[in-house]
Chains A and B, each alone.
Chain A
Amino acid sequence: MTDWKVGTVTDTRTETPTGRSITISVDGWPGNLAGQHLDLRLTAPDGYQAVRSYSIASVGDGSTVELAVDRFPTGEVSPYLVDDVLPGDQLEVKGPLGRWFVWTPEDTRPIQLVAGGSGIVPLIAMARAHAMSGSTTAFRLLYSVRTPEDRFFADELASLESETFHVDYVYTRSTPADWPTPPRRVTRDVIEALTISAADAPGVFVCGPTGFVEAVARALVELGHDPQSVKTERFGG
């Protein structure tokens, strides 16, 4: 049984026009694997409670966790986290949760990550774990965002790029000025061109809005990937 723990916000950082990262110090947090999530509970003065699941961007031991949250305009919880929460505020969290959508350095398959929007959060945890562990396994990230301003962790992703970690961006609404392709969606052809081939039998982790994840997972299977090796995390929307 996993109990609720009280966390204190220690830092917030604007990542995109609609999203930010939040660092929370949690007494008794046991550390977490890359890709796990936590449940976050807010309680209103009248006792009303709302619980939401958020993927964890941070990885490893230690009692701080980093989340990155995108604002759903009609949401109950995300506007508070993106617009209002301040260092010193307290939040209740439960976790780490889930051992299925997880990457550990013992996994030596090539790894393809596919993110839509804030679906990057559990995947940057995997990219961080890959870099921290010194794993020589090939990692590749396909990251779909509406515009360049909508990229979470853009600077860090650039700094993580190496011989064993490559990032490809797909812009769906507007691109950087000198970008070689017009705005486009992550179609089967795009996936075929910009991801590790099924012939190399990679593990694949896909995270994003439900429609995005379904389209990507379907295309991956059509391209010959073993459905068992394609792990998905939909966050609704």
Chain B
Amino acid sequence: MTSHVDGNALAGSLSEIFRTDMTTAVCCCGGCGDTTTIATEMVYGTDALAHGSIVRCRSCDDVLITLVDTPERTVVRFPGITTLTVDRETPPA
């Protein structure tokens, strides 16, 4: 398994689903309450063997987002986020 990268790396995948750049959105972890931009969370599974990505809380490791891409569909789960705050000023992704 390769080491993790930053939430920045998911800008492209998330742009297929959301209207604005989600890496600057602020999320609150349901596990520990840590609140930060998605760009600073930890992303696992961006290597060749991965069929999707997992975003974990930078503070407590809880799973915040799972993202599975197939040619036909994308499945996103938000098991660990209690609040997601998106700035209205954020330009389109």
Query: In the complex, what's the smallest C-beta–C-beta distance from B15 to chain A, in angstroms?
Result: 4
Find B15's partner among A1, A50, A75, A211 (CB 8 Å cutoff). A1
Is A100's CB under 8 angstroms from B23's CB?
yes
List, in ascending order, chain A residues with CB within 8 A of B21's CB. Answer: 97-100
Interface residues on A, range: 20 to 34
**What does the 1/0 interface line of A125-158 toward B look like (CB < 8 Å)?**
0000000000000000000000000000000000
Pairwise interchain contact B48-A98, C-beta atoms closer than 8 A:
no
Interface residue stretch chosen among A170-178, A183-191, A193-201, A229-237:
A229-237
Name the interface residues of A180-237: CB closer than 8 Å to any CB of B: 210-211, 232-237
B residues contacting A by CB (< 8 A) are 2-6, 8-9, 11-13, 15-17, 19, 21, 23-24, 37, 39-40, 46-48, 71, 90-91, 93
CB nearest to A232 among chain B residues: B6
Question: A2 an interface residue at 8 Å Cβ cutoff?
Answer: yes
Residue A7 interfacial (CB < 8 Å): no
Q: Give the 8 A-B residue pairs with the shortest CB-CB distance, closest first.
A: A39-B12, A100-B39, A97-B11, A210-B3, A98-B11, A2-B15, A234-B5, A76-B48
Chain B residue nearest in CB terms to A55: B8
Contact yes or no, B93 A236, CB < 8 A? no
Give B55 Cβ to nearest chain A Cβ, in Å: 14
> What are the residues of chain B within 8 A of A1 when measuring CB–CB?
15-17, 19, 93
Return chain A residues, CB-CB under 8 Å to B17.
Answer: 1
Contact A99 B23 (CB under 8 A): yes
Q: Which residues of B contact A75 (CB under 8 A)?
A: 48
| Residue ID in chain A nearest B7 by CB atoms | A100
